Structure 1
Amino acid sequence: MPKKRPLHDEIDDQPVPPSKSQLKREMHALQQLGETLIAMTPNERSRFPLSDDLLRAIDETARIHSHEGRRRHMQYVGKLMRKEDLDAIQAQFDAIENEREQRDHAFHRLEKWRDRLVDEGDAAVDLFLKDYPEADRQTLRQLVRNAQREREQSKPPTSARKLFKHLRDAAAL
């Protein structure tokens, strides 16, 4: 079992600096964060509080095709990441993840509505229109009937997809 390092030096009660291994783990974590930022579109990246140097380095990454060159460049990105406000960047990642979860939850809710509409028919249409009065009743009923017919005939769910798109538009997602 590995020995745990004390947080303070026992002789003069000074804080013990982190080990070399711990520093390496932290640098690899920063490089991974940089990789995540590089994988994003420029529009998504613009939501983050990043310095101009880091943005230039991230844009430069696309031009590097050599494996070793990319590895060295990622180390440079990790070095630049040390100067960034990591709490603000993490807060933005959390906000994006929260938005994604809310959108997924809303989509699941609409999928349940679609299934309910196809199963129950006009009764469910009335309930849906109470929740979303801006939806077009005639189009909704027509899509529900077509989806029911496709299900009975074991055809591909083309109308069910159109119904979901209509529900998504009505819910403004």
Structure 2
Amino acid sequence: MSEEELVSKTQIKNEMNDRQALGMQLTKLAPDTLKKIGLSEELLEAVLFYKKITANGALKRQAQFIGRLMRDTDPEPIQAYLNKLKGDNAEHNAAMQRLELLRERLIESDEALTELISDKPDLPISELRTLIRNARREKEQNKAPKAFREIFQLLKQHHQ
């Protein structure tokens, strides 16, 4: 007997229920977000249609249909995208923390900027210098950290 034949019916049902639950998580997302995931056209349409339904029985049927479509869909990329949206992605969180630390170092010393420029020559250096100068001024004057936030967004944009 091959390994595929040894899978129990219960295990198959549990897997199908998990996929349907994953499909139902998709119904809670905004249409623009759904389009970014890269779902099949049929699954995307089914999820968007689910959002329009108001009758209970029809909702159940559409949920079953989404579950059926999920059987033919690889759940890994969908789950990874949902985890990223929730902030559960450890790799993503670590990258954001590294960017925050880099931002702190940039504000504290000019040496960090020199290192960054040598590592990332494609950065808009003059804009970054202006933001750092403004962030230092904001910190001294206890103003709202507008430039501080903009530095993070700039770093995030160029570190992807």
Instruction: Tell me the TM-score normalised to structure 2 length.
Output: 0.69
Task: Indicate which of 135, 143, 147 corresponds to 2:131.
Answer: 143
Tell me if 1:93 matches 2:93.
Answer: no
Residue 42 of structure 1, CA deviation: 4.3
CA distance in structure 1 between the aligned counterparts of 2:154 and 2:118, rounded to whole angstroms? 16
**Which residue does 1:128 correspond to in 2?**
116
CA distance in structure 2 between the aligned counterparts of 1:72 and 1:162, rounded to whole angstroms? 47
CA distance in structure 2 between the aligned counterparts of 1:35 and 1:81, rounded to whole angstroms? 10
Residue 43 of structure 1, CA deviation: 2.1
User: Secondary structure, in 3 states, of the residue corresponding to 1:62?
Assistant: helix
Task: Indicate which of 143, 149, 152 corresponds to 1:161.
Answer: 149
Structure 2 unaligned regions, length at least 5: 1-5
In 1, are the aligned partners of 2:34 and 2:44 still within 8 Å (CA)? no
Aligned-residue Cα RMSD (Å) equals: 3.3
CA distance in structure 2 between the aligned counterparts of 1:91 and 1:70, rounded to whole angstroms? 25
**Which residue does 2:58 correspond to in 1?**
69
CA distance in structure 1 between the aligned counterparts of 2:49 and 2:131, rounded to whole angstroms? 49
CA distance in structure 2 between the aligned counterparts of 1:132 and 1:118, rounded to whole angstroms? 17
Percent pairwise identity = 32
Tell me if 1:116 matches 2:105.
Answer: yes
Residue 144 of structure 1, CA deviation: 1.3
Tell me if 1:18 matches 2:9.
Answer: yes
CA distance in structure 2 between the aligned counterparts of 1:31 and 1:152, rounded to whole angstroms? 54
Aligned residues: 148
Structure 1 unaligned regions, length at least 5: 1-14
Q: Out of 57-66 and 144-153, give the one that drifted further.
A: 57-66
Residue 160 of structure 1, CA deviation: 0.7
User: Secondary structure, in 3 states, of the residue corresponding to 2:121?
Assistant: coil
Instruction: Tell me the TM-score normalised to structure 1 length.
Output: 0.64
For residues 66-98 of structure 1, the C-alpha deviation after alignment (integer angstroms, 9 at most, x for no partner) is 34432332123223434x15xxx1243366468
In 1, are the aligned partners of 2:23 and 2:67 still within 8 Å (CA)? yes
CA distance in structure 2 between the aligned counterparts of 1:69 and 1:142, rounded to whole angstroms? 57
CA distance in structure 1 between the aligned counterparts of 2:152 and 2:95, rounded to whole angstroms? 12
**Which residue does 1:32 correspond to in 2?**
21
**Which residue does 1:152 correspond to in 2?**
140
Residue 133 of structure 1, CA deviation: 1.6
Tell me if 1:44 matches 2:33.
Answer: no
